[in-house]
Amino acid sequence: MAKTSEWAAKVLAVLRAGNADAAIAQIKVAPNVKDLKALQAALAAGPLACRWKDVDAAIDDNISALSAPRLHRSP
């Protein structure tokens, strides 16, 4: 059985505490696309939808960055 990630819940708690800058910093170092999409779904489902435009933009930017193929190969 795979462990579920608690990352989205923790970032959501940071947002509820009112620290959007810390949440954006965490979004920039997100572990994977699945966690970002889980955070995006949690924000859309609750009363927090469209509350922070900069957080929504950071999520969209990082989903596209993590989804894009890498431009180089590691040596």
| Between 70 and 9, the higher pLDDT residue | 9
Is residue 41 within 8 Å of residue 13, measured between CB atoms?
no
Mean pLDDT of 1-25: 86
Rounded alpha-carbon distances, angstroms, from residue 67 to 4, 10, 37: 20, 22, 11
Please report, for the chain, the start and end positions of each structural domain, with discontinuous segments joined by +.
24-67
Secondary structure in 3-state letters for 35-75: HHHHHHHHHHHCCCCCCCHHHHHHHHHHHHHHHCCCCCCCC
- Percent of the chain whose predicted confidence (pLDDT) is above 70: 87
| Residue 49, pLDDT above cutoff 80 | no
pLDDT of residue 4: 63
